[in-house]
Structure 1
Amino acid sequence: MNDNRALVLVTGGTGYLGGHTITRLLADGHRVRTTVRDLGRAAEVPHDEVEVVAADLGADDGWAAATEGVDYVLHVASPFPPSSPADDDEVIRPAREGTVRVLAAAREAGVRRVVLTSSFAAVGYSAVPRAEYTEADWTDPADPNTAYIRSKVIAERAAWDQVRSAGGPELAVINPAGIFGPVLGGRLSSSVGLVRAMLDGAMPVVSPLHFGVVDVRDAADLHVRAMTHPRAAGERFLAAAGRSISFLELARILTESGYEVSTEELTAEQVRADPAMREAVARLGHVPVIRTGKARDVLGWRPRPVEETLADTARSL
């Protein structure tokens, strides 16, 4: 019997956002295929009904088979270094080339639309008046940011350039802030790792920096909405819930949720005096205002409150 349900390819199915996106797609009745670099990790993909194929962002092999017969691609996978690399290109090159490789394979396979997971890093790490950011803003890749931040803006720009120059498939981009929320397995995202460090007492003092928050379930929801909505093609969508918070506010939310964590904050002078926090100095006093009206108005997106997300994160850990 023919199965007329849409077939969706999710890259990086063993990852945090990838796993939640797969869960949402299955709940909506889609068929799902996902890629892993090594089939030995297939068991880490949530849900047995998912088709798992091998494909590495660093090589062409496997991508034609991965995209064959696919209606939509959600390109979630991207390299995230555990520490700053000796050479920025160790992160930037695979992010850029992997994105272009996936788009090329999708075009050859006749995929309708690709939804790319970019990041607020591609939007809000260059100064703008009043620190208010919309989808019209771009981080300048020439600014002295980390390799990861530069990789996100360079990879996203490469994606838009690829679609403009080669044509098809349709492209939509999601730019999430820090992703928190319930974990599905033992592998933690870097953002959830911050909550784990607080709960474990490994972060006895916090830095006076601010960041945006989005629930992983809401980020997955936004990807799925952008996958099929007629007005999403050719658009970027910022994803954040409420106002940006500080690490101290995160600690206080966890305390109010019943967890014992440190609520001691470094002073700006202490940050400036610590060589290990050199990259944080430029962010002191910077409270980003992330405008998400586009996702709400165009796609009907309604993220849950930050407090709920962070409490659910701690509870799942």
Structure 2
Amino acid sequence: MASGVDSPLVLVTGATGFVSTHVIKLLQGEGYKVRGTVRNLKDEDKVKQIRELSPDAQHPIELVEADLTKDEGWNEAVKDCSYVIHIASPVPSSPPVNEDDILQPIVEGTKRVLQACADAGTIKRVVLTSSTFAIHGETTLEEDKVYNESDWTDTESTTLDSYSKSKTLGEKGAWEFIKELPDDKKFELAVINPGLVLGPVLSSTVSSSNEIVKKLLERGIPMVPRINLSVCDVRDVAEAHLKAMTTPSANGQRYIISTQNVWLKDIALILCKEFKPQGYRIPTMNAPYFALWLNSFIDKSVRPVLPRIGKEYKFDNTRMKEVLEINPLDLTQTIVDTAYSLIEHGIVKKSKKYKQGKKEEEDQPVEEEKKTEEEIKQEGKSKEKVENNSGDKNEKEKPTELEPEDKPEKVDDEQAKSEIEATEK
């Protein structure tokens, strides 16, 4: 843990982002001085939320303005820093017209940051945020293969989408940049390759990854595509950045951050178990391929999903566990915490039956202490009576308690089927 006036200064790019907010909060909690970049310091709401991440921090965060699509500001941003955690990814102001509109800002933006680091002369190590899409982003799949950090996405593949290509070229460009630096300007590099990042949000801005949970809670989709995801928790990702920055042996390596692979339907079932009693109608029925294909003509965002239907892309997280010493959080905890945070931050509307979940459960033991001895005895008798009449006490813990997918979804699924049949005619 860093502490005192001599604490190292760490630059975190894209300070308002989902992952960045967790990294900043963790760094401040560890006593580091933190400087963050934002595209617009006049955006008072976002700036205020970043400043309030750690109100009791030993060193208040410093915010500076810098844009990955511009040269200005980056030399000032890295000045006097010992470490740089580069998380920011440029967001186009308008929908991209062609692939270069996506590729160029990411590749050139990363080079801008690295060049400023080389010119500063004070940077010890840069931690770059990449993606598992830079490990394997193609929609083709080698049977039974588990991908690891030695694998690279083929940027010439015809099955590659622009996002995967940009992440791959951006990371490759970073490694090449470090390799070609003269000795007097060299600094260390480590790369974090997370899967789909879920977890609690720390601001009112929803990330693209948490959009999946948001859509399920709001029933933004009537049925669930049969896609498989490599999921990780944002808190593990934040810790990975810190460990990659401080662990001596982490230099020069890539790190896949993944909790486990999971089908989207399993995420829906976890949400259903927790939030159906609270008034949320989570879809759990798998969407037929034909229905998705038909919908892709209306909704272009569905098209990239089609080649991934039914395929399981597995990633090896051994290096994360052994080198960075991170044991991933439980998947159910990640998904449930994500949902509660989206609701509490007003990103998803509270239902009439909504309860604050874990906070109420933590308060219950305090209430128990106030009960009289007679009340406790009466509760015990009532509980015994219910158990004697309910047969198997453990029945409620069986997975079937979620109810078969056709029961909670019966009315809506019949309606969805009718819509598909009508479209076919």
Could you tell me the TM-score, scaled by structure 1's length? 0.94
Distance 1:287 1:237, change over 3 A: same
How far apart, CA to CA, are the structure 2 residues paired with 1:273 and 1:232?
A: 47
Q: 1:93 pairs with 104, 108, 125, which one?
A: 104
Shift of 1:80: 5.1
- 2:61 is the counterpart of 1:50: yes
After superposition, give the CA deviation of every residue in 1:56-102 in whole Å (9 maximum; x if it has no partner).
Answer: 11111111111011010000101356997321111111110111111
Identity value in percent: 37
Distance 1:146 1:84, change over 3 A: farther
Is the deviation greater in 81-90 or in 228-237? 81-90
Could you tell me the TM-score, scaled by structure 2's length? 0.71
After superposition, give the CA deviation of every residue in 1:140-163 in whole Å (9 maximum; x if it has no partner).
Answer: 112232221211111001000100
- How many residues matched? 315
After superposition, give the CA deviation of every residue in 1:236-290 in whole Å (9 maximum; x if it has no partner).
Answer: 0000102x11111110010122333111211234334443433222212211111
How far apart, CA to CA, are the structure 2 residues paired with 1:122 and 1:262?
A: 31
Q: Which residue of 2 aligns with 1:248?
A: 265
Q: Would you say the 8 A contact 2:227–2:264 is kept in 1?
A: yes
Shift of 1:197: 1.2
Matches within 5 A, 1:150-229: 150-167=165-182, 168-229=186-247
Shift of 1:128: 3.5
Q: 1:231 pairs with 238, 249, 268, which one?
A: 249
- 2:161 is the counterpart of 1:146: yes
How far apart, CA to CA, are the structure 2 residues paired with 1:25 and 1:192?
A: 23
Distance 1:67 1:92, change over 3 A: same
How far apart, CA to CA, are the structure 2 residues paired with 1:158 and 1:252?
A: 40
Q: Would you say the 8 A contact 1:84–1:146 is kept in 2?
A: no
Gaps of 5+ in 1: none
How far apart, CA to CA, are the structure 1 residues paired with 2:219 and 2:326?
A: 35
- 2:158 is the counterpart of 1:137: no
How far apart, CA to CA, are the structure 1 residues paired with 2:168 and 2:91?
A: 14
Matches within 5 A, 1:242-281: 242=260, 244-259=261-276, 260=280, 261-275=282-296, 276=300, 277-281=302-306
Is the deviation greater in 72-81 or in 305-314? 72-81
Task: Find the residue that maps to 1:286 and give its secondary structure.
Answer: coil
Is the deviation greater in 202-211 or in 225-234? 202-211
Is the deviation greater in 281-290 or in 58-67? 281-290
How far apart, CA to CA, are the structure 1 residues paired with 2:253 and 2:201?
A: 29
Distance 1:291 1:229, change over 3 A: same
How far apart, CA to CA, are the structure 2 residues paired with 1:76 and 1:239?
A: 15
What code does the residue aligned with 2:34 have? V
Q: Would you say the 8 A contact 1:239–1:292 is kept in 2?
A: yes
How far apart, CA to CA, are the structure 2 residues paired with 1:92 and 1:138?
A: 17
Is the deviation greater in 226-235 or in 165-174? 165-174
Q: Looking at both structures, which has the greater relative contact order when contacts are Cα pairs under 8 Å and sequence separation is at least 6?
A: 1
How far apart, CA to CA, are the structure 2 residues paired with 1:14 and 1:280?
A: 28
What code does the residue aligned with 2:195 have? A
How far apart, CA to CA, are the structure 2 residues paired with 1:171 and 1:84?
A: 32
After superposition, give the CA deviation of every residue in 1:190-213 in whole Å (9 maximum; x if it has no partner).
Answer: 111111111112122111111111
- 2:308 is the counterpart of 1:283: yes
- 2:84 is the counterpart of 1:73: yes
Q: Would you say the 8 A contact 1:81–1:148 is kept in 2?
A: no
Is the deviation greater in 275-284 or in 92-101? 275-284
How far apart, CA to CA, are the structure 2 residues paired with 1:37 and 1:232?
A: 30
How far apart, CA to CA, are the structure 1 residues paired with 2:48 and 2:169?
A: 32
**RMSD between aligned residues:** 1.8
How far apart, CA to CA, are the structure 2 residues paired with 1:112 and 1:236?
A: 17
Q: 1:112 pairs with 100, 104, 124, which one?
A: 124
Is the deviation greater in 84-93 or in 202-211? 84-93
Q: Would you say the 8 A contact 1:238–1:292 is kept in 2?
A: yes
How far apart, CA to CA, are the structure 1 residues paired with 2:73 and 2:93?
A: 26
Matches within 5 A, 1:7-26: 7-26=9-28
After superposition, give the CA deviation of every residue in 1:216-239 in whole Å (9 maximum; x if it has no partner).
Answer: 111000000000111111100000
What code does the residue aligned with 2:264 have? F
How far apart, CA to CA, are the structure 2 residues paired with 1:209 and 1:131?
A: 17
